[in-house]
């Protein structure tokens, strides 16, 4: 056993001795990155001094580290993809990728990763790219601490900031993405994590993912995006500690949940959205300990949703707390705090003694006749809602919180 460990130690030391650092720059022997990549052997580091490098599209197919000093610029001149990576064990750090090729029919990217494993893209700046980072058919890729800023003007002509397709075990962390079609896009991506990113001012979605199972989305900020966030055709998703902010528009929401099952939304904040959560075809979803504040609708939950648990949430200063398009609701709404609740707590156990029906008659009317929103805050609407709360007839009878909290929960 001792000989085995000595052999492993010897191999590690030998690999470190054999690896080299190859320097590139105006004052170095090598002037171009392409020359350095041709000379580099597996495990080498290519160290690039600051400058503007216009070398067409660079390709890396061997394990190595490409390290920039002072954010050297790789300029695509709007003609090529800046960098294409295949293979395994590649690290790219400290570069500015500028002006990659744009196309309305092809997915050109500043950094294109194809059929790769264990790739790390860290601490780079990507400016005016069609797709910022495009990853396909790859595993164990990490994209962290990057600033990605597009100049998209329409959905048809724009790509996504970070786009991942048919991959697994990806980590997307501490990136700032703006000005693209979708900030982050997942399709057929499993067992991956999106954590502590800011995705804002994108034309369509801050985050958009489909057919992507067993993923986690933790501590992100999705702000002021055209439509919000969309999670579709997915199961076993965990979304915790995220902020959904300022997603306003006729078809905007903090998050759209469509045909989602067995998932968890806990500890999130939904503020200043047209709709905080829009749920359609959602089953067995836990919506717990979230804050809904200053939204048009805190939640719209369609009649085709079932077995969901909406518990221990705070609903404050929303125009409408809950809306639905049916009379039968098959989900549990209990032990939430509702600022519109006017009941009492005689036994001082922290729960209201009178059940609360969070769906107003006016919300039901608007669901069927959107133009009636013009009557908002009118005396007649207020009177109708008061009467409906006293004797519910038209609102869903079983959408009721039997134990409303008297005080908001502390998150």
DSSP 30: B
- The two tokens of residue 99 are 């002006």
Q: Is residue 103 part of a domain?
A: yes
With contact defined as beta carbons under 8 Å apart, do 130 and 162 qualify? no
Q: Is residue 85 part of a domain?
A: yes
- CA 180 to chain CA centroid, Å, is 13
List, for residues 147-192, the tens digit of each pLDDT value.
Answer: 999 998 787 778 999 999 999 999 999 999 999 999 999 999 999 9
Q: pTM of the entire structure?
A: 0.88
With contact defined as beta carbons under 8 Å apart, do 299 and 321 qualify? yes
Residue whose token pair is 């000595």: 6
With contact defined as beta carbons under 8 Å apart, do 223 and 248 qualify? no
pLDDT (tens, 9 = 90+) of the chain, 411 residues, equals 455 444 444 434 444 445 699 999 988 899 999 999 999 999 999 999 999 999 999 999 999 999 999 999 999 999 999 999 999 999 999 999 999 998 877 889 999 999 999 999 999 999 999 999 999 999 999 999 999 999 987 877 789 999 999 999 999 999 999 999 999 999 999 999 999 999 999 999 999 999 999 999 999 999 999 999 999 999 999 999 999 999 988 878 999 999 999 999 999 999 999 999 999 999 999 999 999 999 989 999 998 999 999 999 999 999 889 988 877 778 999 999 999 998 898 988 999 999 988 886 555 545 555 554 444 544 444 555 554 455 554 555 778 999 999 999 987
Q: Is residue 331 part of a domain?
A: no
Q: Which residue from 379, 377, 335, 369 is spatially nearest to 355, judged by alpha carbons?
A: 335
Q: Is residue 95 part of a domain?
A: yes
Q: Is residue 68 part of a domain?
A: yes
Cβ-proximal residues to 63 (8 Å cutoff; 6+ apart), any chain? 42, 43, 87, 88, 89, 90
Q: Is residue 96 part of a domain?
A: yes
List, for residues 297-349, the tens digit of each pLDDT value.
Answer: 999 999 899 999 999 999 999 988 998 887 777 899 999 999 999 889 898 89
Number of separate domains in the chain: 1
**177: CATH:** 2.160.20.10
Query: CB-based burial of residue 27 (10 Å sphere; 0-12 exposed, 13-18 middle, 19+ buried)?
Result: exposed
Q: Which residue from 211, 182, 177 is spatially nearest to 196, judged by alpha carbons?
A: 177
Q: Which residue from 27, 117, 111, 15 is spatially nearest to 69, judged by alpha carbons?
A: 27
Q: Is residue 162 part of a domain?
A: yes
Q: Is residue 69 part of a domain?
A: yes
List, for residues 3-18, the tens digit of each pLDDT value.
Answer: 544 444 443 444 444 5
What range defines the domain where residue 55 resides?
Answer: 19-226
CA quadruple 330, 334, 340, 343: dihedral, nearest 10: 120
Residue whose token pair is 């902020």: 243
The whole-number pLDDT of residue 9 equals 41
């Amino acid at each position: 056993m001792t000989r085995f460990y000595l052999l492993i130690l010897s191999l590690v030391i030998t690999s470190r001795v054999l690896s080299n650092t190859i320097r590139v720059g105006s004052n170095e022997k090598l002037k171009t990155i392409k020359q350095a990549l041709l000379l580099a052997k597996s495990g080498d580091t290519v160290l690039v001094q600051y400058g503007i490098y216009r070398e067409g599209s660079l390709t890396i197919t061997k394990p190595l580290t490409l390290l920039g000093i002072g954010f050297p610029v790789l300029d695509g001149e709007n003609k090529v993809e800046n960098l294409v990576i295949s293979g395994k064990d590649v690290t790219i750090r400290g570069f500015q990728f500028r002006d990659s090729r744009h196309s309305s029919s092809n997915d050109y990217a500043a950094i294109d990763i194809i059929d790769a494993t264990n790739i790390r893209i860290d601490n780079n700046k990507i400016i005016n790219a069609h797709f910022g980072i495009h990853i396909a058919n790859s595993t164990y890729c990490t994209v962290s601490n990057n600033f990605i800023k597009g100049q998209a003007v329409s959905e048809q002509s724009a790509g996504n900031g970070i786009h991942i397709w048919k991959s697994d075990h990806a980590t997307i962390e501490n990136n700032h993405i703006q000005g693209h079609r979708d900030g982050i896009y997942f399709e057929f991506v499993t067992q991956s994590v999106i954590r502590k990113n800011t995705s804002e001012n994108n034309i369509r979605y801050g985050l958009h993912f489909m057919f992507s199972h067993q993923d986690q989305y933790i501590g992100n900020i999705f702000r002021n995006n055209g439509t919000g966030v969309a999670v579709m055709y997915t199961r076993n998703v965990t979304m915790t500690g995220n902020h959904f902010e300022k997603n306003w528009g006729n078809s905007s929401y903090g998050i759209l949940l469509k045909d989602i099952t067995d998932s968890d939304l806990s500890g999130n904040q939904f503020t200043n959205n047209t709709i905080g959560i829009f749920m359609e075809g959602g089953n067995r979803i836990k919506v717990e300990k979230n804050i809904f504040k200053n939204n048009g609708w805190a939640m719209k939950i369609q009649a085709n949703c079932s077995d969901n648990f909406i518990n221990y949430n705070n609903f404050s200063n929303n125009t409408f707390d809950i809306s639905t398009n049916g009379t039968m609701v098959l989900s549990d709404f209990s032990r939430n705090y509702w600022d519109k609740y006017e009941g009492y707590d005689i036994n001082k156990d922290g729960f209201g003694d009178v059940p609360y029906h969070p769906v107003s008659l006016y919300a039901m009317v608007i669901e069927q006749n959107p133009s009636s929103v013009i009557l908002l805050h009118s005396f007649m609407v207020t009177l109708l809602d008061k009467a409906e709360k006293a004797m519910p007839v038209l609102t869903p009878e079983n959408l009721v919180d039997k134990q409303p909290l008297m005080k908001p929960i502390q998150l």
